[in-house]
Structures are given as structure tokens and as C-alpha cells.
Amino acid sequence: MSSSHADLHFVLFPLMAQGHLIPMVDMARILAQRGAMVTIITTPVNANRFRSVIDRAIKSKLKIQVLELQLRLAEVGLPEGCENFDLIPSPAQAVNMFSAMVMLEEPAEKMLQGLCPPPSCIISDGAFPWTMDIAKRLNVPRLVFYGPGCFAFLCIHIVTSTNILDEIDSNSQYFVMPGLPDRIEVTKPQASTWGKGDTKETTDNFERMQEAEKSSYGIVVNSFEELEPKYVEEFAKFTGKKVWCIGPVSQCNESLQDIAERGNKAAINEQDCLKWMDLREPESVVYVCLGSLSYASTKQAIELALGLELANIPFIWFIRNTSEELEKWILEEGYKERIKDRGLMVHGWAPQMLILSHQAIGGFITHCGWNSTLEGISAGIPMVTWPHFAEQFLNERFVIDVLKIGVKIGVEVPIMYFEQDKEEKFLTREEIKAAIEALMDIEEEGQGRRNRARELGEMAKGAMEEGGSSHHNMTMMIQAITEEVAKQTKVIKDVV
């Protein structure tokens, strides 16, 4: 590593949601592995979730540190400790979290002013537009990071910067998304659950995000060029920004502990999990996980349980959120006893990478969050797509229509993560069984999906290896920041 890279100091601001926090922590480690100094700024509860991974990185001599800022929760009406979107007690309070996030600007700037060496570059989640103002005042470049890949974000940019949705009256009618290399059909709600929201606060924040992006030095994406080449190019063209695809960043996790503890402490001992999977035939098990924010209502969870049982295929199912009603049903029906020979049901956080990379896994039922989608792709696993909200319906279209490695379960209407107990339309156990059977099919269609998934998994690994596209993009990004810092230093010297 050249000495100039060793002089760089990247400061990262991850959003307090697992789908954003996890890839940013991985990105921090990759930058540190390249010789740069890295500071992650987050809140105490979130810092605690990845503390053990960072401690191991520090022990291995990486120059990485975590600094903590307190959210002013009481001032915005949130309970103490409510520092992540998955801890918000009620639906209406998501907007309170955004208000608390805005209040971080002043303490964050003070923290940055006290850093030694001073920051060379800020990499900030798009949801912190005020980091652009700090970057301008400190005279450092700011790169913006969004959770999704280039396909979904190109769709989002098209929807939010044109009047396409104003021309559509129906919420159920499918229309062709304009300006894309492939024919992609979505409904109005599927295309618009990421964006302005329906309150003044969320609209204001989204508009600030768009303005901050225009002033940013570039965009960092957790994806790889071979996965979505046309969309990387179109996204860069549409935004007029340099776009660096540096993923899948999850591949920086190599030790069993880092893989098992990625994001949070797993709800099952990794050895117990591995032992259970070791007993299964290769590619025979379906892994079910609906993400850190998405979850099925009690009625839907029961249908999912019965669909998994009906399919008569081995499964491992992680339930992120549960209810007394569901627990009562499981107990009264003796469900765990009924499925004990071929099903493993776990409440809590899943060691997802550990599971997906195991040879026993043959399919993945996913909510289509980008982290999970990309982890499934990296493991070479075909998927059943069960989107809920945000950009998940767009990711579903990418998996089904562009990559052709998925089976659509049949959800049409987005439901926000805090409204899922209000679900009116449920997937039946028969629909779930049919999707699982299609996913695990070994005939021509199913085998085609499996082969394509495997090829993409190989490409994902190659992208992160030395000489691969993402490895090269990370080199180019670091080089660009090095040159920008040198330019700024020269300007200051000339002025002095």
C-alpha cells in the first residue's frame, strides 16, 4: 500500500437500520485492509451490535475505530435505547427517528473537527444529507452510500425526478418503467414506497437527500459490475456522478466468527446450526428469513408454517418478530414436534451468510432487501421473492426479470413494516407450497435457475478478488480521493 493511502482517513456514517449498517461496517473493514484509517460514527446500541467484529479487526492491526454519538431521543418522543429502526415501538414514530437523526449534525461536526488525523473523506448514508454541509465546511469530499443496487436506484431516480406516477390513476395497474434497458413492469405503489413518504418531515428529508447527492463527489454501491452492467452505466449517466460498485462487501468476512456474528449476535449457536445442516443432503434445504424489519403477521406466519410443512421439504426458518398468539399456536398445535425431523425454527437474528454458504441450502425465501438478495446471489442460491416495502418490489423484478433466478410468491401490494398486522390479503399455505416446489424443482426450468444462480455466485467471488471489478473499483475510488485531497491541500497552500 502506498504511503499516500496510509495517510487517508475515511469517516463513515451508517444509517441506523441493519440493511444499511451491516454493509457500511464491511466497507469500513475493506478500506482499512487497504491501509487507510477508518472511523465509524454511530450510536451506542448500534456500535454494540458490531463491536466484536471491529474488536477482531483492531486486533489484526487494522486502523479502525468506532465513535459514539447520542441520539436526543427524549426530545423527539422516543424511549431510551430506541436507536435503530428495528427498535421503534410504533409505526407513527419512524418520523421521530428522522427528527433525531437531523439533530446529529452539530455534535457530529464537533466530533470531526477533533479528529486526528483530520478526515480526508466522508462516506455517508444517503439519509444523512447534512453530512454534505459538514463536508463543505471541512473542505473534504463526500461520497454517498445507498442500501440498494444500481437497478433499484435507477428506478427510484426515474420515479422521483419525473412525473411518470402522476400520469397513472390506478394502484393495481402495471405499467412499463420508462428509460430502462429491460422491459420492467410495476404498479404505482410498488415503484414508490421508497421516497418522499407522506409527512412533511420525510418529504423534506428526501428532498435534502436529492440535493446533497447532486453536490456529492460520487456514489458508492454495494454491487458488482458483472451483475448489472447496463444499470451501473445508466445509473451513472442519469445521476451524472461517478459510481463505484465495490461489492458484494459481505465477502470480506472470512473467519467463522465474523461470518456468524455479521450484523448481530445470532439467535442460535453457529455450531448447532452447522450440525443441523451437515445432516441434510446437498441443495435439499429451503432457508426462510424475511429480514430485520419485514415480518409476517400472526395469521400469515401460521400460513407460512403450514405451507412449509405441506411442501415436505427440509427447511430452516428464522422468525425475527413473533407474538404471543403465534407462540400459543405453535405450542397448542405441537408444530415444532410435527416438523422436528426436517424443520428447524429459530426465533431471533440469523447467521445468514453462514447458512447460505452451506452446501445443504438449495433455496432461499427472502423479503428481497438488497443485503439479503445480494447475499443469496453471492452464495449462488435461487430465491422465492416475497417483497414487503421500500425498494423490495424493484429488487424482486431484478431477480425475476433481469437475472432470472427467482420464483415470485405472488405478493402484489406493499405493506410497510409497521403495518403488517393490518394485512388484508394473505398468501395461502397452498400458494407458499407451490412456490417452494417450483423453487426446488430439478427439471429444466428449475435447473436453469440453479445454473444461472451458481454462475452469478462465481462472478460475485471473482469481483472481490484481486484483479476483479470491485477490487479494481475500490482501488480507483481510493486513488480518486487521494488525488482530490492532494488538490485541496495544494489550493490551501497556494492561498496561504
Q: Does residue 72 have a pLDDT over 90? A: yes
Residue 74: phi and psi, rounded to 5, are -60, -40
**pLDDT of amino acid 1:** 39
Strand-pair partners of 40:
12, 66
**Closest CA relative to residue 191, chosen from 445, 414, 461:** 414
Name which of 126, 123, 141 is nearest 29 in CA terms: 123
Residue 4 has pLDDT above 70, yes or no: no
Name 200's Cβ contacts closer than 8 Å, sequence gap at least 6: none
Using one digit for the tens of pLDDT, what is the confidence trace for 252-272? 887 777 777 676 666 577 788
Burial of 400 (0-12, 13-18, 19+ CB in 10 A): middle
All cell numbers assigned to 310: 405441506
State the pLDDT at residue 487. 84
DSSP state of 89: S
pLDDT at 43: 97
pLDDT at 488 > cutoff 60: yes
Classify burial at 121, counting beta carbons within 10 Å of its beta carbon; exposed 0-12, middle 13-18, buried 19 or more: buried
Q: What pLDDT shows up at residue 491?
A: 65
pLDDT tier for residue 207 given thresholds of 50, 70 and 90: confident
Residue 147: closest CA among 121, 126, 123, 122: 126
Summary mean pLDDT of the chain: 90
- What's the per-residue H, E or C state across 252-292? HCCCHHHHHCCCCCCCCCHHHHHHHHHCCCCCCEEEEECCC
Amino acid at 364: F
Pairing between β-strand 185-186 and β-strand 175-176 as defined by DSSP bridges = antiparallel
CA 106 to each of CA 136, 376, 396, 468: distance values in angstroms, whole numbers, following the listed order? 14, 39, 39, 40
Rounded distance between C-alpha atoms, residue 47 and residue 69, angstroms: 10
Q: Where are the alpha helices (DSSP H) in 7-88?
A: 18-33, 44-49, 51-59
What CATH code would you report for 3-246+469-495? 3.40.50.2000
User: Would you say residue 20 has pLDDT above 70?
Assistant: yes
Task: Give pLDDT tens digits for 156-178.
Answer: 999 988 888 888 888 899 999 99
- Percent of the chain at pLDDT exceeding 70: 92
pLDDT number for residue 93: 84
Residue whose C-alpha is closest to residue 304's, from 328, 274, 332, 335: 335
Query: Which pLDDT belongs to residue 51?
Result: 92
Instruction: Tell which wins on pLDDT, 294 or 170.
Output: 170
7 in helix, strand or coil? coil
Q: Do domains 3-246+469-495 and 267-460 have the same CATH topology?
A: yes
Q: Enumerate the β-bridge partners of residue 339.
A: none
b/e map 248-263, b = 16+ CB within 10 Å: bbbbbbeeeebbbbbb
Provide the percentage of residues in the chain whose pLDDT is more than 90.
70
Q: Which CATH architecture has domain 267-460?
A: 3-Layer(aba) Sandwich (3.40)
**Average confidence (pLDDT) over 340-347:** 88
Can you give the pLDDT at residue 214? 94
Q: How far apart are CA 398 and CA 379, in angstroms?
A: 17
Q: Where are the domains of the chain?
A: 3-246+469-495, 267-460
According to DSSP, residue 476 is labeled: H
SS3 361: strand
Q: What is the pLDDT of residue 345?
A: 87
In what helix (H) or strand (E) does residue 235 lie, and over which residues does it extend?
helix 229-239
Give the mean model confidence (pLDDT) for residues 14-29: 94
